[in-house]
Chain A
Amino acid sequence: MAMANIQVSETPLVLYALRRADDALILGHRLSEWCGHAPMLEEDMALSNIALDLIGQARELYTYASKVEGRDNDEDKLAYLRDVRQYRNLLLVEQPNGDFAQTLVRQFFYSAFADLYWRAMMNSRDTTLAAVAAKSEKESAYHVRHASEWLIRLGDGTDESHARAQAAIDHLWAFTGEMFAVDDGERALIHAGIAIDPGTLRGRWLQTLSDVASEATLVLPQNDWMQQGGRAGRHSEHLGHLLSELQSMQRTFPGLTW
């Protein structure tokens, strides 16, 4: 017997917390896939560290979503018993690790945003989200530094590393627009001072990117056509495979304590 999906009452605030929790979990899971296989031991350590920060953020946000929802959907039910269509993460974070350049560019795009986002969210009127933000901001400041330094090394390293880094930027660029999109539910939270408008962060995000790209001798794409859908559960094909691995124990052995 496989365990059925849970149903979540996605009020705007529950959905808001879930989306950020899903971002953190999926990206943390992706990074954890490197553990034992990184280009050098120092990066096995660093990528695991970042993964641990993100999984920690996910747990806090799931727990909060669960509390706001007020049903019995705890962090593990939210993580392990929702399927692809119920996941609300950005398309960017579910993209496969690819080579080291692709992993680092994905991280850089996300962390450069997350750093600004969490810093702004420290002023949220929602005290739990503000507290999560205060912790996450410290972590993401390190994440963005780690990714920036690597991007500069790769861009301004060898011809091969430059080509790989540029290819990763070109490949992942279309997944960045989603970070700045807002729907009606979120707009209400923004008006209430609970959420911040991510659109206001785009200028500074672009500035960080172009500063690093310029030092790395890399070029940011000009095309502005962006993929969308993750926030509404319309994902790439990659997410299903990730979830089937992530959820395999809970789906195979339903309802047990581990």
Chain B
Amino acid sequence: MYTQALNTAETDDRGLEDAAKAAQFQARIDAEERIEPNDWMPAAYRKTLTRQISQHAHSEIVGMLPEGNWITRAPTLRRKAALLAKVQDECGHGLYLYAAAETLGTSREELVDAMLAGKAKYSSIFNYPTLTWADIGTIGWLVDGAAIMNQIPLCRCSYGPYARAMIRVCKEESFHQRQGYEIMLTLCRGSDEQKAMAQDSLNRWWWPVLMMFGPPDATSQHSDTSTKWKIKRFSNDELRQKFVDATVPQAQYLGLTIPDPGMTQDADGHCRYSEIDWTEFKQVLAGNGPCNRDRMAARRKAHEDGAWVREAAAAHAAKRAHRQTAQAAE
């Protein structure tokens, strides 16, 4: 679901590589051609994309945890089935993003190991807890909504496998977003207690969701190269503003209040939000969010507890292959 504009491009090291190939590569990008796995590409382009796509995949997988937290407690059978299907979709996104990353030459095992070792990032938003059922609505509405803002431009990313994965992911995400909004609508049309639950959830998630777009443009580094390579097409602040402008009327329709008393509306219609607390963002990225440790512990536990199963599958496949070879030799 969720890329985050944490990704900084590698230093452009084309000077060290074949200048003619590099020029040809850039010309293809400029002509809006897609780069495919077997095409020549600068090492820095490969590295930047491997990092970005794998971070995106890790986010999908870690993102299963906060929502998975409510699968066993969903309030109706319809909600239970829908939530389970949604979390399963996120897993599917993770799987094909890992596959897209693998086309760049790094295996899924290596990418997952880097995440479990704490060397690879995932979206900061999943380090916040889901405390009430309304959080499931809010995640769909806002977190998936923010992810869609980030990901629609990625459907035109210069790297073919990533762009194609994003087209499918975005379709499913917009379904999730509508589902989340519908949960919020049901709560807001319900009892006072349900409305309060919805407002409390918005209060807790609003600012962390705005942080999903990454640091402000003024402090963002290296985005020039990503822009030149057409990996990134809009700046963090541009996407954040688009998101806020789209979301404020939706909150109004629900009858909820955006927890930003300083928010103003420009003559040109833009909703100007107050200063974001970037200290909190940095703390969460540094591992000090409310759930960082729990999320990593849960992923590590699943990985470690599952080791004997993966070993068994590999051992059985090897036995089977051995028996087939022996049979063929007879």
Interface residues of A (CB under 8 A from B): 25, 29, 32-33, 35-45, 48-49, 51-52, 55-56, 58-59, 62, 75-76, 79-80, 99-100, 152-154, 156-158, 160-161, 164, 245-246, 248-250, 253, 256-258
Contacts and interface: CB of A to CB of B under 8 A. Distances in A.
A55 B84 contact: yes
Nearest to B318: A157
Contact of A257 (B94, B190, B312, B316): B190
22 contacts: A33-B72, A35-B68, A35-B84, A36-B64, A36-B68, A36-B302, A38-B306, A45-B88, A52-B81, A52-B85, A62-B77, A153-B312, A153-B317, A154-B309, A154-B312, A156-B316, A157-B311, A160-B308, A161-B309, A161-B315, A257-B190, A258-B133
Given A48-B87, A55-B80, A258 B75 contact: yes
Contact of A36 (B73, B81, B298): B298
Nearest to A163: B308
Given A35-B68, A40-B306, A62-B77, 10 more contacts: A35-B71, A36-B91, A37-B298, A39-B305, A55-B80, A154-B316, A158-B311, A245-B73, A249-B75, A258-B79
A32 B306 contact: no
Range of interface residues on chain B?
35 or more
Contacts of A62: 77
B contact patch SS: helix
A161 B312 contact: yes
A1 to B, nearest CB: 12
B110 interface: no
Interface string B17-50: 0000000000000000000000000000000000
A156 B65 contact: no
Contacts of B88: 35, 44-45, 48-49, 52
A40 B309 contact: yes
Residue among B75, B133, B187, B193 with most chain A CB within 10 A: B75
B263 to A, nearest CB: 30
Contact of B71 (A32, A79, A164): A32
Contact of A258 (B84, B85, B87, B186): B186
B301 interface: yes
A41 to B, nearest CB: 5
Contacts of A258: 75-76, 79, 133, 183, 186-187, 190
A57 to B, nearest CB: 11
B278 to A, nearest CB: 30
B74 interface: yes
A161 B311 CA distance: 9
Residue among A32, A43, A62 with most chain B CB within 10 A: A32
B171 interface: no
B242 interface: no
B297 to A, nearest CB: 11
Contacts of B194: 253, 256
A234 B280 CA distance: 51
B315 A158 contact: yes
Contact of B316 (A35, A51, A153): A153
Contacts of B85: 48, 52
